[in-house]
Amino acid sequence: MTQAIVAGAIVVAAFNGVAGLLGAWLWYDGDPSQRGAGAFWLLLRAGQGSALVLALAVGSLAAAGNYSTDQLFYLYALLPLAIGLIAEQLRIASAQTILDQRDLADAQAVGALPESEQRAVVSEIVRREVGVMALSALVVVFLALRAAGTAHGF
């Protein structure tokens, strides 16, 4: 059973690691809306889904009375869910931050801009969203690897 939990944590780390590295590259490249963004979002959602599956498996084991002797394991196994929720909130706030920096009231105000400025605003919003989510994926990699390292107590 310990091997299955370790394997699950490594799968979570792998999905999130690939998504995080791709997202970091897209963010660094400067225009993530052009290439590779679709793959990034698919990998990111797969990574978040794998973290949810791991948390459900750990919760199921605990409900069945099979506990880890290392209590830090639960922190490392469940914290990726909180990281994902916080990152989603930061992603949403990042769009408003860009609009505020440009003194735009809302998305409709962006539509009133010339097309080249609209593209610039959207590109900047997408870049910031990708950066936030890539960073969260890399944090989840660390947590998943720590969960794998502390799963020996089952």
Domains of the chain by residue range: 2-153
- Quick: pLDDT tens for 41-91: 999 999 999 999 999 999 999 999 988 888 899 999 999 999 999 999 999
Q: Is the pLDDT of residue 153 over 80?
A: no
* More confident position, 123 or 30: 123
**Calpha distance 48→82 (Å, rounded):** 11
**Calpha distance 122→114 (Å, rounded):** 12
Residue 62: half-sphere exposure toward Cβ, Cα within 13 Å: 15
State the first-to-last Cα distance of the chain, in angstroms, to the nearest integer.
7
pTM for the full predicted model = 0.89
